[in-house]
A and B are shown apart, each in its own frame.
Chain A
Amino acid sequence: MSRTRWLQVGGIVLVFAAAAWIASSVLERVVSPVAVPSTAPAPAAPAASVPHIIATLYYGTPDGQALAAVKREVPLGEGPREQGRQILESELEDAPAPYLSLIPRGTTLRAFYITDRGDAFVDLSVEASTLHPGGSTHELLTVYAIVNAVTANLTSIERVQILIDGRQADTLAGHVDLRRPFERDTVLVRETKGTQ
């Protein structure tokens, strides 16, 4: 084989290698746009050993009349689905003082998933319904604490449907219609300052 032929073969191999490299890097972004490699150092990463984000979580205001948007540290999750799960796990924990918890204690997150259309499903254990104290006001605050916690932090999600024990439910305690997904609603939110 002549020297020219060798150079041509080498060039073609180089073109294929470069195309493969570009395709793989593009695919990586499409499949996991928020993924963070665990080994790669984050830019100016915080000193804490567990990476975290500052998320906005929602609790009852001390006077019980509105939702308080409270900034809290939440473990960093790989991708929107894992991040959403971390946010909801934190939302289910007791509210930091002086705020009020809106989701019955004992409620657990059974699953969290996101459809291709950007709808999120939050599957809660039955305690969310059976231990709920009821009342339109309390129920609205509970529902929108969950919906806003997801939509405020995961901007790709437009609508959230709440499931109870893996199934579509009518209501939590007889008032707010859970049969259809909710969009973010800040009417009940009263802004607060600072990070907890």
Chain B
Amino acid sequence: MRTAVLSVIAVVLVLVCGPHAQGTAPASPLTLVTREGRRAVASTILNGQEFIGLDDLAALFQLAVREDALAGGVTVTYKGRTVVAATDQAMASVNGRVVTLPAPIARAGRRLLVPIDFIPRAIAPIYDSPIELRRASRLLIVGNVRVPRVAIRLEAAGPPTRLTLDVVPPLVVSTSFDAGRVLVRVDADALDIATTPAGAGLIDQIRTGDQTTTIAIALNARAGMPRLSTVTTNESARVLVEVPLAAQQETAAPPPPPPVPVPAPPEAPAPLLGTRTAKLQTMVVDAGHGGEDNGVRGPKGTLEKQVTLEAARRLKTLVESRLGVRVVMTRENDRAISLDERNAIANNSKADLFLSLHANASPSASVKGTEVYYLRLDRAGEEARRTAAATELILPVVGGITRPIDIIPWDLAQASHVDASSRFASMLEEELEKRVPAGPRPLQQAPMRVLSGANMPAALVEMAYLTNGEQEQRMKSDEFQGAVVEAIYGAVVRFKTYLEAAPTP
């Protein structure tokens, strides 16, 4: 009898209390950003979903919360506007409109927890001020607060060591140099910095300065006077910091530690697939599309495959005659050729540089201008890039010497060249902007298929928008094609100088 009574009591207790949640803290806290400043907001992970206390939200946003146990729901009110959320369904009614949530409201003891998506989906529509949840950077931005995204990229190859800082949207940025530090101040309320790279090359450290809208870049003792420039477009403000070696060190004979005697290098052997070369001997020019693949068709019928071939031929002539660099074309006539085949031609030619020529298209006929792309790696690509050095094999080659070979998947061959490609793409953008109109996003990083398998620095140039009537006309002209090709030639010359000045690993 006693056992049975105890069982019944246990069941009743379970039913009354319900499945209460026990969560864990997320890896990094959510940060609330308002005009008044920043502060951490507690959240908890339950069943893979991030939750936040409804009482915390009520305090943050001055919400009135009322639980109706009989109806199985919670009513949240703000200035007469209401959200009704069910405790057993992953949905809520926001001012009469139903929105889905990733999970229903949960309980932790006496507290009610809501998924963090409840904030943008349910509270934002009824709230007076804008609310934005940035998951990647763990920021909850409330009010008209300017929090630009800041992407920092460091290229240690050099000297000079190069740091690029992109601020989106473009806000006023000022730079200064004092006591071995470059300070970049952004006229914002806070900054959304995804990742801050570790120091490398002539830059010792990059960190958010004393104020949250300043980035401090500490230079190495060997660094000379940095060159600072800022370019603002409609899309972003870009700060470029170039740090050269100090002048006396560039000219001084031996550095402080005595130089280790190095055996004289043998005559440079032919470059192998996967090796790094420090010379520009062969370049591959890829005329986009061809054969059945016309590419973009202009409003007056001009085909992308025609203009890319014409420009590619001009570029080949110019580079070979003036620079003495061998140019291999992926196609010399109007024929179809797969993207893999284009990469194969470049890799088999042991080319040191790959350039793909294209003409652009937009859903609006008003867009015009030239744009340059280099490869953006996805997770697999970044992984390949990181492991390339770790899996480097030292193989013997002709002449009794050895050579390091990077082991990297064929279709991610570009992964180990992205830094050099970024440099080449920047040079292309700068040279093109001197001669032809720039597009809305003159320099972009994107997952371009024709670049991913190229085992050398590579970029893609969209010469102009064929969908723009005026640019279609100009693109066929000798004058325009000549200007584009001269600009590309200028970038190739600069890249050649850069390659030959860079130390061979």
Which of A12, A136, A140, A181 meets B4, CB within 8 Å? A12
A100 to B361, CA, bound (A): 13
| A137 touching B362, Cβ below 8 Å | yes
Q: Counting CB contacts under 8 A, is B11 at the interface?
A: yes
B391 CB-CB contact with A under 8 Å: no
Shortest CB distance A49–B (Å): 13
* Residue from the list A26, A140, A177 in contact with B19, Cβ < 8 A: A26
* A168 to B253 alpha-carbon distance, docked (Å): 58
Interface string of A134-147 (1 = CB under 8 A from B): 11111011000000
Task: Report which residue of A10, A63, A137, A181 has the largest number of chain B beta carbons within 10 angstroms of its beta carbon.
Answer: A137
Q: Does B14 contact A (CB under 8 A)?
A: yes
What residues of A have a CB within 8 angstroms of the CB of B289 in the complex?
A: 134, 174
Is B202 on the interface with A (CB-CB < 8 A)? Answer: no
Structural contact, A136 and B98, CB atoms closer than 8 A: no
Whether A96 sits at the interface, judged by CB under 8 Å, is no
**B-side binding surface: helix, strand, loop or mixed?**
mixed
Which chain A residues numbered 151 to 182 have a C-beta less than 8 Å away from chain B?
Answer: 155-156, 170-171, 173-182
Residues of B within 8 A of A40 (CB): 89
A51 to B100, CA, bound (A): 11
Question: When the two chains form the complex, which single residue of A60, A64, A133, A174 contacts B293, counting CB atoms closer than 8 Å?
Answer: A174
> Which of B52-60, B80-88, B212-220, B274-282 is the interface stretch?
B80-88
What is the CB-to-nearest-CB distance from A35 to chain B, in angstroms, rounded to a whole number? 8
By a CB distance below 8 angstroms, the chain A residues around B440 are 65-66
Which of B26-34, B365-373, B417-425 lies at the interface? Answer: B365-373
* Measured CA separation A83–B448 after assembly (Å): 30
Q: With A53-B98, A134-B361 in contact, is A187–B168 under 8 Å at CB?
A: yes
Residues of chain A lying within 8 A (CB to CB) of residue B100: 34, 53, 76, 83
A100 and B371 alpha carbons, distance in the complex (Å): 21
CB of B339 within 8 A of CB of A141, answer: no
Given the interface contacts A54-B97, A64-B366, A174-B295, does A8 sit within 8 Å of B1 by beta carbon? yes
Question: Are A33 and B96 also in contact (CB < 8 A) when A18-B15, A134-B304 are?
Answer: no
Please indicate the chain B residues that have their CB under 8 angstroms from the CB of A137 in the complex.
360-362, 367, 371, 439, 441, 462, 465
On chain B, the residues within 8 Å of A136 by CB distance are 358, 360, 371, 373, 446, 448, 460, 462
B158 within 8 A of partner (CB): no
Contact (Cβ within 8 A) A134 B448? no
Q: Which residues of A contact B411 (CB under 8 A)?
A: 179
1/0 per residue B350-383: CB within 8 Å of A?
0000000011111111110001010000111000
Residues of A within 8 A of B101 (CB): 34
Is residue A1 contacting chain B, with contact meaning CB distance below 8 A? no
Interface extent on A, as a size class? 35 or more
Does B93 have its Cβ within 8 Å of any Cβ on chain A? yes
Name the CB-closest residue of A to B85: A43
- Cα distance A66–B373 in the bound complex, in angstroms: 16
A175 proximity list for chain B (CB < 8 A): 358, 448-450
Q: Do A138 and B339 touch (CB < 8 A)?
A: no
Does B390 interact with chain A (Cβ within 8 Å)? no
B residues contacting the other copy or chain, number (CB 8 A): 74
* B residues less than 8 Å from A155 (CB atoms): 102, 117
Let me know if B426 is at the binding interface, CB within 8 A.
Answer: no
Q: What residue in chain B is nearest A11 (Cβ atoms)? A: B4
Interface residues of A in 31-67 (CB under 8 A from B): 33-34, 36, 40, 42-47, 51-54, 60, 62-66
The reply to whether B373 and A44 contact each other, CB–CB distance below 8 Å, is no
A145 to chain B, nearest CB (A): 10
A27 adjacent to chain B (CB < 8 Å):
no
B382 CB, nearest partner CB in chain A, Å: 12
Residue in B closest to A139 when the chains form the complex, CB atoms:
B361
Q: How close is A148's CB to chain B, nearest CB, in angstroms?
A: 13
**Which A residue's beta carbon lies closest to that of B96?**
A46
Q: B70-117: which have CB < 8 Å to A?
A: 71, 73, 82, 84-86, 89-93, 96-104, 117
Interface residues of B in 1-48 (CB under 8 A from A): 1, 3-5, 7-8, 10-11, 14-15, 19
Asked if B455 is an interface residue, CB under 8 A from chain A, the answer is no
> Are B7 and A12 interface neighbours, CB within 8 A?
yes
**A135 and B117 in contact, given A11-B8, A83-B100 (Cβ under 8 angstroms):** no
A115 at the interface (CB under 8 A from B): no
CA distance A177 to B343 in the complex (A): 14
The complex places the Cα of A62 from the Cα of B5 at a distance, in Å, of: 72
A45 to B84, CA, bound (A): 9
**Residue B452 lies at the interface, judged by CB distance under 8 Å to chain A:** yes
Q: Chain B residues near A102: list those with CB within 8 A.
A: 363
Q: Is B296 an interface position by the 8 A CB rule? A: yes
Q: Which residues of B are interface residues toward A (Cβ below 8 A)?
A: 1, 3-5, 7-8, 10-11, 14-15, 19, 71, 73, 82, 84-86, 89-93, 96-104, 117, 125, 168, 234, 288-289, 293, 295-297, 304, 338-339, 358-367, 371, 373, 378-380, 411, 439-441, 446-450, 452, 460, 462, 465-467
Q: List 25 A-B contacts (CB under 8 A).
A: A8-B1, A11-B7, A12-B4, A33-B90, A34-B102, A36-B89, A42-B86, A42-B89, A42-B91, A43-B89, A45-B98, A46-B96, A53-B97, A64-B362, A64-B364, A100-B363, A134-B295, A135-B462, A136-B462, A170-B449, A175-B448, A176-B446, A177-B448, A179-B411, A180-B378
Instruction: Give the top 9 A-B pairs by smallest Cβ distance, nearest first.
Output: A64-B364, A135-B361, A11-B4, A44-B93, A43-B84, A177-B449, A100-B363, A64-B362, A60-B363
Which A residues are within 8 Å of any B CB, using their own CB? 4, 7-8, 10-12, 14-15, 18, 22, 26, 29, 33-34, 36, 40, 42-47, 51-54, 60, 62-66, 76, 83, 100-102, 133-138, 140-141, 155-156, 170-171, 173-183, 187
